[in-house]
Amino acid sequence: MEASDPSKFADFIGKLSGWLWGGIPLEVAGKEWTIPVLLILLGGTGILLTARLGVIQIRRLGTGLKFAFGAKGRASAKEGDVSPFQALMTALAATIGTGNIVGVATAIAVGGPGALFWMWVIAFIGMATKYSEALLAVKFRIKDAEGKMNGGPMYYIERGMGTNWKWLAVTFAIFGSVAAFGIGNMVQANAVAHNIRELVSADVLAGSWQLGDFEIAKLELITGLVLAFLTGLVILGGIKSIGRVAAFLVPIMASFYMLGCLYIILRFAGEIPAAFGLVFSDAFSGTAATGGFVGSTIMLAMRMGVARGVFSNESGLGSAPIAAAAAQTDEPAEQATISMMGTFIDSILVCSLTGLALIVTGVWTGGPDTAGSMTQAAFSKGLPGTAGGIIVGIGVITFAYSTLLGWSYYGERCVEYLIGLKAIVFYRIIWVIAVVIGSVGGLRLVWSIADVLNAMMALPNLIALIALSGVVAAETRKYWAKQKP
């Protein structure tokens, strides 16, 4: 095999990612057109569900927060494996990951500030998508041989659309079990190793360290081994263990990170109006070259915003409803209202704060090559001393670790659907090994592979959501009709 093969493979994956998320190039009547099929399907599904549910993401936003953090979120005697709140935190553990730090930076570095606007758009309509996924997951869930609740797209495709569509359910489960290693495993491990290396190289930790290639490789390997060990400790206990850790870790890490972002934004308060101006103007005009930034088109801003937005909040991918199905509840619409808050917290709050911190500090003009360390640069510039680098470092480590836990559960459920309970032990072993591999891998290729797998995973789920949108609307009307005015 030629030495250039790895680069050819990377180029192919990059092109495939571009076709899936950016669009398929077609020549019609002598003119070249780009058809963004997946973006249209994601956006169209979200708009359809938003309309059929009467803009539920606005009407029930307050109710969702009350349900999630109030009495309805606590454990109950109803069927299920974890409390509704723990189910939400498990889903958030999987979504609040490097997509909120590295992903947002990549979107803005490549697509310009306008990408943040398109992240907001896909998050808003994605709340209706997330609601629908969770409702269907609880409605069509089953109890396995161990008495645990299993649900998600593979089950609502087969049981909701009928056995003639089982092939589509199998397709989702295959892509879901494999995609978990990209979006939920190697990308996260890679980001942890990269940021620890940045911390050490920037003398944030202590002393003046000069790292050669051997020392960097050794540091990445050690990082991977420690991360793999900590991951294995929790996932051996299954969803109950993951739910407990997520319910403790997610609120603390999200609050800690958001407070850091808020401090930076307020410190550069004079830049806030201009930052919002850039976000809205560049969303519809593209970004001209500024400093080291190469400039972007409207389509690139839209593509990066939607792709990274979906990577971050996972609305439409079909992953989060797998966690929702484990909730202790007998009301599908109730858990759906709680699950919808995941997209709100992840993208409307956390991603927005990250994006604004990048723009007000001006670090976004560094261009695509700086995406990996852009958020760290913003925090270093906006916070005194070494606090910025430390906060980002801790944020990446905790966010990525929680994502590793959440996605391990998603992958397990997909494998159980395909093969059965006997395969879970082997899947967990492979999962832990992949953490180490991801820690020493290349960032660009890992991200591209994750984008491709996300797209292939989303397609079967979106087809099911469209087909079962009537079920979602009917179940929603029935639930809210029973509630007190």
Ordered by where they begin, the domains of the chain are 14-72+80-468 (1.20.1740.10)
Least confident of 70-79, 83-92, 410-419: 70-79
DSSP letter assigned to residue 5: H
Q: Is the pLDDT of residue 62 over 80?
A: yes
Give the Cα separation of 170 and 154 in Å (integer). Answer: 7
pLDDT value at residue 210: 53
pLDDT at 286: 64
- CA dist 181 and 325 (Å) reads 21
3-state class (DSSP) for residue 81: coil
Q: Is the pLDDT of residue 370 over 70?
A: no
State the average pLDDT over residues 226-231.
89
Average of per-residue pLDDT across 196-218: 60
Confidence band for 367, pLDDT divided at 50, 70 and 90? low
The model's confidence at residue 215, banded by pLDDT at 50, 70 and 90, is: low
pLDDT for residue 447: 66
Q: What is the pLDDT of residues 327-351, one digit of tens each?
A: 988 889 999 999 999 999 988 898 8
Distance of CA 36 to the CA centre of its chain: 21
| From 318-327, 355-364, 436-445, the region with the lowest mean pLDDT | 436-445
Q: Is residue 216 pLDDT above 70, yes or no?
A: no
The residue ranking higher by pLDDT, 209 or 190, is 190
Q: Which pLDDT value is given to residue 469?
A: 94
Lowest mean pLDDT among 11-25, 182-196, 236-250: 11-25
Q: Which pLDDT value is given to residue 3?
A: 45
Q: Does position 183 have pLDDT exceeding 60, yes or no?
A: yes
For the stretch 6-21, pLDDT in tens is: 577 777 877 777 777 6
Over the chain, what is the mean pLDDT?
82
d(CA 46, CA 462): 9
More confident: 302 or 346: 346
24-33, 134-143, 233-242: which is most confident: 134-143
pLDDT in tens, 268-296: 999 999 999 988 888 887 665 454 455 55
Residue 419's pLDDT is what? 92
Per the structure block, which two tokens stand in for 73? 């979120």
Please give the pLDDT value at position 289: 46
Cα–Cα distance, 151 to 213 (Å, whole number):
45
Backbone region of residue 290 per phi and psi (left: phi > 0; alpha: psi in -120 to 50; beta: other values): beta
Query: For residue range 18-59, what is the model confidence (pLDDT) as tens digits?
Result: 777 666 777 666 667 677 778 788 889 999 999 999 999 999
> Counting beta carbons within 10 angstroms of the beta carbon of residue 387, is it exposed (0 to 12), middle (13 to 18) or buried (19 or more)?
middle
CA–CA dist 281, 435 (Å, integer)? 40
**188 vs 161, residue with greater confidence:** 161
Q: What is the pLDDT of residues 421-451, one digit of tens each?
A: 888 889 999 999 988 888 886 656 666 777 7
Between CA 333 and CA 175 the distance in angstroms is: 27
Q: Which residue has the higher pLDDT, 11 or 138?
A: 138
